[in-house]
Amino acid sequence: MRISPQGYSRQKLEYLSLLAEKYPTIQDVCTEIINLQAILNLPKGTEHFMSDLHGEFEAFYHILNNCSGVIREKVDLVFAKSLPEKERSEICTLIYYPEQKLRRLKREGIVNDDWYRTTLRQLIEVCKITASKYTRSKVRKALPKEFSYIIDELLHAQPDEDNNQVVYHAKIIDTLISIDNADEFIVALASLIKRLAVDHLHIVGDIFDRGPRADSIMDLLMKHHAVDIEWGNHDILWMGAASGNEACIATVVKNSVAAGNMAILENGYGISLRRLAMFAKDTYTDCENPKDASLRAIAVIMLKLEGQMIERHPEYEMEDRLLLGKIDYQTQSVEIEGTSYRMKTVFFPTVDPADPYTLTKEEREIMDALKVDFRESERLHRHMQFLYEKGSIYKCYNQNLLFHGCIPLNEDGTLATVVVDGTPVSGRELMDRSEQLARKAYFSPAWDHKKDSYTDYMWYLWSGKNSPLFGRSKMTTFERMFVEDQSTWTEKKNPYYSYCDSEVTCQMLLWEFGLLTPYSHIINGHVPVRASEGESPVKANGKLIVIDGGFCKAYHRATGIAGYTLIYNSHGMRIMSHEPFETTEKAVEENKDIESHSNRFETQVERVMVMDTDNGNRISDRIYELTLLLNAYRQGILVPKRAD
């Protein structure tokens, strides 16, 4: 490509001059172009999609370790013809949990020098095959620092006539064993295999609530080499609490108490529930146990704070949720949408029927103390800042659209218009505007007069009737806690969930986000797939994949499985359904993996290469820029340095 001097604008020349600082010689430019062109022709890396983790750390950790079965496939690929299934399972477990497995094998007296030699060679073979789709440069960057030179040597052994390389590598392994460094080397190899097996991890929402260890999941994600997170409504709830919204704070506490999961607040984040527990014990004397009393106390506080917000924001159109003011204490009933329903209890000693949404002095003190704890929890804010850094409401990645909840639709299937911060928006604009406000809620300074409005919107994203993260007409917390008639518990889904089975609707939504290829998909979480009733996670002729199969133990009976995950590699897409995970101990002791079933629903006729990905587009742009620089050097427009 030849370009005349007149073809370079001043801005382009300024940019090329900056680029020339990194590539000062013609050979530097040529070498980089050759390198980038070679990368374009490698197979795309494996993407791993997970959703709705809901604090189930052990199951998440295991599926992260086994890469939804990718590790087992690699081990089988290398050793299916040479090792029995039991030995292959031993290798897999060692890769998943190297420290724990080594301790167990040592207790059993299995570990000796010969075992180390055999095992290290096996792990090196598995590592070679997982590294085969990457450039040597990329693999080197992934190598654990303390063993980078040794692993690089062992991975790139070349046979020679005199077997010098074989002897050399055998000596490396023997030395590792003789100086008692083999355990550390096994741990490093296992870590590298897992890192290379999956190039990128997508978490499609809802890390928090229900399960006991969302904080441990966050710690693990913060160490991951390549991850993005599409916020779920449970995540946004915690983000809203960290931003200071009182209704979000009260709801986080209510959810934790209801799930019997107070430890995440008290031990995980240093948020004390003692004042609440003492108040509840003294106030809600009709409750049979302290947990029920605390739940009632915080639920009433939450409903009051929600009522205040609904009254502040008529644009939310949620006046039908102002139920504390519709209780008839004499008939022990409540009016919901024009119908009277019997209540389980009307013992609400802190609710003034004439002013139902004002907190009492004691309730105010509880909220003030909780607000301070949420504001001052260093670990909580570390986790929330990571959610903001790696997260978004939606993501377009390699021509796929990822989001947790829904794109709100009208009853006729058209995009629903929602008023956000005074502006009517729909579709992609709704998602973009919602994300802007979510970021402002946390990061805008305290003196910003609109900060309270931004943090209020975080609560709306959690449970608002047209929230793209919630996707239901209402959240029936009041009804589930206090109304006997279970028909009131129903939460009508947004029309999105009726229309998303349609390929036409999914195509319309993909176009809304600028995704025009025939290989684009919507990848969704939020609503558990009821596999036990025959529901499929693959919908709309393959255009929509729902990967919430019920990670949370509370869903297992309803869904019939323990979660879906999605694998997208150079050969195509496949959905993985998982049976419930037992324990890490059983996995280590019995080599008990999660039983998973694979369904490859889309196979590429030709392998997907790096050139077909978003990163490939960026590399192609870089090659174009470097080609301009090369031409500028060769035409004398810019003067290269002489090669030494």
69-84 pLDDT tens trace: 889 999 999 999 999 9
Confidence of residue 153 (pLDDT cuts 50, 70, 90): confident
| Residue 493 DSSP label | B
Confidence of residue 34 (pLDDT cuts 50, 70, 90): very high
**Which pLDDT score, from 0 to 100, does residue 126 have?**
95
CA distances from 217 to 20, 397, 404, 493 (A): 43, 23, 18, 29
d(CA 152, CA 16): 35
The fraction of the chain above a pLDDT of 70, given in percent, is 91
Pairwise pLDDT comparison (277 vs 607), residue with the higher score: 277
Q: Are 27 and 542 in contact (CB under 8 A)?
A: no
Q: What is the mean pLDDT of the chain?
A: 90
Q: Which residues pair with 597 in a beta bridge?
A: 577
Judged against a pLDDT cut of 60, whether residue 53 lies above it is answered with: yes
Confidence of residue 554 (pLDDT cuts 50, 70, 90): low
| Lowest mean pLDDT across 64-68, 253-257, 483-487 | 64-68
Judged against a pLDDT cut of 50, whether residue 1 lies above it is answered with: no
Domain ranges of the chain: 5-42+619-634, 47-204+525-608, 225-377
Q: Which of 576, 524, 533 is nearest to 555 (CA)?
A: 533
Residues 6+ apart with CB under 8 A from 634: 26
Residues 6+ apart with CB under 8 A from 611: 40, 41, 619, 620
Confidence of residue 2 (pLDDT cuts 50, 70, 90): very low
Sheet order of strands, 327-328 included: 327-328, 333-336, 339-342
